Structure 1
Amino acid sequence: MNRLPVSSLIWAFAVVAAGALLVYVTLVPGEPPQRDFAAHAQLPVADEVQGGPIELPVATHAKRFDLDDYAGQYVWLYFGYTSCPDACPTSLGWIGGALNRLPEEWQGEVNGVLISVDPKRDTEDRLADYVGHFHAGIHGATGSEDDLRPIAERYGVFYERRATESAMGDVIDHSSSTYLIGPDGELLEIHPHGTSAAELVGALLEHAGRRESAD
């Protein structure tokens, strides 16, 4: 009888847990569920954030990732990784819930994006499997350390790998904010960790209203 390696079993458990969290944050209003963040440190976003273009060689929905491909749409952008034990599934759950809460006329006009800062483990297939548990409108992308570092610096994202004795392997302490990107690729807002789906939608519609008024 063939047996799955321990790492595969752990990965499967993580995916199931992410799915359960998705159901929670999508259906239950209010604050995010209380979780144990002891194994993962949330680093702050830098004081000065530029934003700007993002191009990466690995993408779950195209041959490569280019933020310019979303021109004319809004994007909720998050930096994390699939093996994250806490902050990432919570935040992606909120993004998935926000996509579900959008008014009908906004469906298909907003996307979520997970930029993985763990290229050693997060292959295209692994990313696609992971983000697919949260919402079909969430895409994944990554690249080499040389690709990621300049982007992370421009977006004020801090991340560092930390070895642990956990069966899940290394953890990556990282900033855990959600970035709202506008139709012209401009950085509109940085939402702190714990921003709910309703708050994400409210902020997006507020920015959209200002844009329409200006036009």
Structure 2
Amino acid sequence: MRCAPRLHALLSRALAFGGLPPPPLPRAQLQGITEPGAASRLGAAFIARALATTGLPAPRRPRALQVQRITEPGAASRFGAAFLARGGFSTDASAAAQDSAKPAAATGGEGGDGKSGKSEQGDAGKSVRRGPVSWLSFLLLLVTGGGIIVYYDKEKKRHIEELKNRTSAVKQEPSVGTAAIGGPFNLLNHDGKPVTQKDFFGKWTLLYFGFTHCPDICPDELQKMALAIDKIKEKAKMEVVPVFITVDPERDTVEQVRDYVNEFHPNLIGLTGTTDEIRKVARAYRVYYMKTEEEGSDYLVDHSIVMYLMNPKMEFVKFYGKNYDADSLADGIIKELKGHQ
């Protein structure tokens, strides 16, 4: 009851400062000043009096259904905004006043009972829980995927172990037969005498196919052959006959071959022949060769770089490529010789 006179006095001073007369306040109304909505009704009366003094039309009295809602939180703001809009004030101000009342309405919901807010929160919680992927389903997915990976890894290891066991269980049996390398031939040696494969029976023979005009590969291979022959004789006290067969019969005559083989080793035997005879022996020993034309009669011959070790029956035993040096070639041949004794 003591707050009402003070409020009336403050409002009267404010109105008087603005040139407006103070509002009358009968003592009979002081009793209800503290009732819910009293401030809104009092404010409405002040605003109506102020508008009437300035020449503006008084606000329309709310209907009976609206009187009940005038005591709700934010009612004064909405009511005042309606008066300002009716009086011709800026609509932005009224809109701002209406917006200021929205949080309270959202908090309490329609009718002030708070049921609408609770239902919205419940619906929001339900929508989250009813999403396409929940934490539980995501966890189950991880566990299932991990189990599949572990199972697959175990099966893979088991399969590898089975393959290893099967491989180790296979018995190593001796190879059957020999490669189809070698055969009869009729050629001329570097002294011009006819030579066949039978002339080498009872001796271990090391054959190499090349040509005398070879710039670098053939000299290197023949030098390696000569060194290996000497090492074999020194280490194993065994004789191996080195043989050079040309793949360039057009230029490698008997005289040309003789001069050529004498440069590498005194025991090296050089063989040549006609084009057909060379083609036949090269085919029997699976030797590739092809003449490459360059300028006139000066050409090179592309050919296989292989040495063939033949046993005393002139049967193929093993071949040695360019990757062997003199020492490894000698050791490999010694191993084969001792293995066939």
Using structure 1 for the length normalisation, give the TM-score: 0.70
Q: Greater share of helix residues, 1 or 2?
A: 2
Among candidates 141, 144, 149, match of residue 274 of structure 2: 144
For 2:340, the equivalent position in structure 1 comes to: 211
Q: Secondary structure at the match of 2:298?
A: coil
Paired residues of 2:210 and 2:245 also in contact (CA < 8 A) = yes
Aligned letter for 1:126?
Q
Q: Are residues 1:169 and 2:169 paired? A: no
Paired residues of 1:181 and 1:188 also in contact (CA < 8 A) = yes
Among candidates 318, 322, 327, match of residue 189 of structure 1: 318
CA spacing shift, 1:153–1:109, aligned 2, 3 Å: same
When Rg is computed on C-alpha atoms for both structures, the one with the higher figure is 2
Give unpaired runs (5+ residues) of structure 2. Answer: 1-177
Alignment root-mean-square deviation, CA? 2.2
For 1:15, the equivalent position in structure 2 comes to: none
Tell me the percent identity: 31
Aligned letter for 1:50?
A
Distance 2:179 2:259 in 1: 30
Structure 1 residue 120, shift from structure 2 partner: 0.9
Q: Are residues 1:201 and 2:330 paired? A: yes
1:24-103 correspondence to structure 2 within 5 Å: 50-61=180-191, 63-103=193-233
Instruction: String of CA shifts for 1:15-67, please: whole Å, max 9, x gaps.
Output: xxxxxxxxxxxxxxxxxxxxxxxxxxxxxxxxx95222342332115611222
Distance 1:164 1:124 in 2: 24
Distance 1:210 1:121 in 2: 40
Tell me which of the two structures has the higher relative contact order, counting C-alpha pairs closer than 8 angstroms and 6 or more residues apart.
Answer: 1
Paired residues of 1:52 and 1:187 also in contact (CA < 8 A) = yes
Distance 2:218 2:241 in 1: 17
Structure 1 residue 186, shift from structure 2 partner: 0.9
Instruction: String of CA shifts for 1:89-142, please: whole Å, max 9, x gaps.
Output: 111010011122123486672111111011111111110110111001111001
Using structure 2 for the length normalisation, give the TM-score: 0.45
Aligned letter for 2:312?
P
Q: Secondary structure at the match of 2:308?
A: strand
- Number of aligned residue pairs: give it: 164
Distance 1:118 1:107 in 2: 34
Q: Greater share of strand residues, 1 or 2?
A: 1
Q: Are residues 1:153 and 2:268 paired? A: no
Give unpaired runs (5+ residues) of structure 1. Answer: 1-47
Among candidates 280, 287, 308, match of residue 179 of structure 1: 308
Paired residues of 2:192 and 2:254 also in contact (CA < 8 A) = no
